Structure 1
């Protein structure tokens, strides 16, 4: 993000609040000099309207930061006091109501700060609190405080009895006090859980832990490994580093989940029974745990592909890197990352154990079903391999050939407005074709949440993707697939991404597909790469028998427990 666009974003977020403060200040000045409240009415209404716009998310049931728009609300209360008490001489009840509302608003930051200190410590762990400590709902109190401001203004402008404002402000103060009491007691409960945490974990006697930190909405990284860690038959817990991750993992497992955000807090969870720590990504905070040299640190990663992140030098900091096949080992060497052979263990990809292997040539299928599984844009420009910008043209060509489509975009697609727009275009196309021609396309929640990746594999006869870990996993099926060359010209794509030797390459490096018809002829017809896929399968996914495929991982992981 550039400095100019960052400033624009900041202004866009602050403009309603700043405008409300200006309008409230104008209302206050007019109230100070005008004998008639009508002069101050218009700017006051503008301020209240902008206040509601700023809080629109909270009004829909969302959250609003405590202590926000404090200046606006205090100015409006001062305006109400001047008009209602100074100019109009209303009873003392209005003055008390204004004072009570102001006191509630001024107390918000303290209650908010206390509330932020409430966070879960553990779940599913006997002896340390089986349920997470929920943060008090400060948004509710903030909204009631806002109502108190509006009521005080209404009493001042309309000449209504001040006791109404007094009652509402008293209710606002009572709710804020109750919220503060909740926050204090829950902070105390959190401290008590933290005090018991080490003893509770020691009594539980876990053999290993799974460490995870990632942006919210990335739970697939741990979800793919939890079933296999369960099958190890050893006690373990999941260590997460953010509250968002905690809430996601608690929904995925009955194993203990522990939240430790800070570096020094990790001492609480390193108990004598621990033998190993597993990781599923290369998050920066993994460094916090790797320093415990009494553990064996094992990187599992969350997929195998030829992407730049898959040969990141940071993998050298782990004692062992569990990789799917020899291709992963060679990938590091090919990219100048020197790692001793003993740092690797080839364990296959246990997640593909239930992927069905092709039994029928693609050419014999009259109306094949094609899975389109594009990746996302990546965090950095050099790892942007997404084909979604040309996905519409590819899907349109497949539909024209009588194919039905399973469309499963990457979960991070929504992080890019441009990619999300292209994804919606494809869904619209599929919906229209399904209505017009009755083809059984699968997309939306059905493909993205109700079906697993393996379900999508098994529901398809061929696949189109790009540089993504789903390509290596799909190789297990031995079904034909195409990869879209985005970051590299098609004629050099295989050199940059060796897995493409088993793929039909769609050249979209120029921003438009150039050889789509020829690729689809091979993909859906003669399929000349069938033998190549069979050979590369062992190279990328391990020379492991399909029968009991996942057991190879379980045996290797068990050696360190």
Structure 2
């Protein structure tokens, strides 16, 4: 597999990231030199003002709660303090209060690296776990300390260039140093509290007596992977906890559940959570760190995954390391064999897709709907070029044709689409098209935050009469509705598309191979009109989503999971 080339080389990327800081340092150095050799007090002023202005621009998001750069601005702030000292000394206004104030401010700034290091050692261990308290430890507010240090630099500069008494700079600098010290004390006490929680973690979990754990490690912003399974795991009625491996994942899961959430980052820390009562571990993706838990042979390891599709990752040989793979239907089992991944039948359990329990089934043929609503749910570009199935590069053309036919559109791109500048640009083009049509013709399109965050995937399914998507797990889930759908063939020509992606047999395949859409009008005539694939969809629904009675669909999953607990 090949990955996309990085947008910048290592050096150019480093230079781009450091350019504002380097420019600020250069301006601060110029101000210092001009303060030392300039015959006029005003020589150093422009460079100092520009340096302070650029520093403020660098920190522009901090006042709204955003991050503030400390390490990259230490040199520039020390140079500005030195400039204030030299300017006052050369031009005769340096008093003891200002001199001491400059020194105290410099000491506060130089203490920031140690403060940041201590703060990084403050991270949560557990939330919602009886015996440890409900609220996890909070990291000290280092951003506030850095901003006050910046204010001390500004006050020192203003004092040196004006007739203001130096005691003002001393008072502000002393306050800054005091805040650094107080924040450091907070960090030390909270690190001690973390060590205390870690020391008794196994004993606390043993007393809690969990029956299973859910292991999740993923990039930030992908909580949908675990969010889709938590409601059903909770319905098992057994004590459990979620084990995460990063602070970002910890915060995401805490927002999703009242079940205990445990953060253990390192391999050797996993021993702290393997309580004697544990019987099984569930996984919702194939993250590399899953093998940190799989090594515990006393547990039954069950892979749930976070969707079923014909994508390459859905038949990855790594699935063989789990004791059980819960799959939606026989199609998933056959997919492994068809792609040369040999797995014995006992490694699989067909459990359906409980997440589709609230998907509404079509009640009338698409041809009877005068102005159908189309859900456009394109996937993203994938981590590798051989798993790039996104139709977004041609999505504008497809949606424009839908709009021309009087359709309303629900536009819900994959959340990872924003990771690509090209796909982000295509999303914006489609949103602009829908916004303009809604403004001019009053068509009730749904897009933006409404479709992407306020509505769930199932809400989008139920709000639509037909769907256009790619090789994606949403296609198999949409199959449950028995509504017509189209798949966009990006990685293979339409003529051979179903050889690689069998679910395409139930879809109207839009040929976009090579980046050019072909025969779109004919496909849309079938998709929105006669719908000759209606019976095929009903047959493949059982193959992909399990031949399970609707009234016991979710219970089938719960019964199978309970067998291992």
Interval containing the TM-score (normalised by the shorter chain): over 0.9
- Can you list the C-alpha shifts for 1:224-279, whole angstroms capped at 9, x where unaligned? 00010011110100001100011111111010011111111111100000000000
| Matched-pair contact (CA < 8 Å) for 2:20–2:58 | yes
Separation in 1, partners of 2:38, 2:467: 73
Return 5+ residue gaps in structure 1 as ranges.
none
Structure 1 position 212 matched with structure 2 position 246 = no
Name the SS of the counterpart of 1:547 in structure 2.
helix
1:25-424 aligned within 5 A: 25-424=29-428
Q: For the residues of structure 1 that align with 2:62 and 2:122, how far apart are their CA atoms?
A: 20
Q: Give the number of equivalent residue pairs.
A: 561
Query: Structure 1 residue 411: deviation in Å?
Result: 1.3
In 2: Cα distance, 1:72 partner to 1:448 partner:
42
- Any unmatched runs of 5+ in structure 2? none
2:269 counterpart SS class: helix
Deviation at 1:3, TM superposition (A): 8.3
Assess if the C-alpha contact under 8 Å between 1:129 and 1:193 holds in 2. no
Shift of 1:413: 1.5
Structure 2 counterpart of 1:455, from 450, 456, 459: 459
CA distance, structure 1, for counterparts of residue 493 and residue 147 of structure 2: 56
SS class of match (2:288): coil
Distance 2:37 2:444 in 1: 71
Normalization by structure 2: what TM-score?
Answer: 0.97
Give the 3-state SS of the residue equivalent to 2:409 in structure 1.
strand
Q: What is the distance in 2 between the residues matched to 1:445 and 1:4?
A: 31
Correspondence for 2:12 = 8
Aligned partner (choices 504, 516, 533) of residue 508 of structure 2: 504
Alpha-carbon distance change, 550 to 3 in structure 1, aligned in 2, over 3 angstroms:
closer
Indicate if the aligned counterparts of 2:214 and 2:242 stay in contact, CA closer than 8 A: yes
The alignment's C-alpha RMSD in Å is 1.3
Measure how far apart 1:42 and its partner are.
2.0
In the aligned structure 2, how far is the partner of 1:128 from the partner of 1:333? Answer: 47
Q: Deviations over 1:405-440 (max 9, x none)?
A: 111111112111211121122122212222222222
Larger deviation, residues 450-459 vs 468-477: 450-459
Q: What's the counterpart of residue 20 of structure 1? A: 24
Aligned equivalents of 1:481 and 1:23: distance in 2?
Answer: 60
Once the two structures are overlaid, the 10-residue window that deviates more, 38-47 or 216-225, is 38-47
Per the TM alignment, residue 35 of structure 1 is displaced from its structure 2 partner at its CA by: 4.3
Change beyond 3 A, Cα 1:4–1:366 = closer
* Whole-angstrom CA distance in 2 between matches of 1:223 and 1:481: 26
SS of 1:96's equivalent in the other structure is helix
1:18-37 residue CA offsets vs partner (Å, 9 max, x unmatched) = 11111211222222223433
CA contact (8 A) 2:351 2:557 kept: yes
Q: Is the 8 Å Cα contact of residues 469 and 486 (structure 2) preserved in structure 1? A: yes
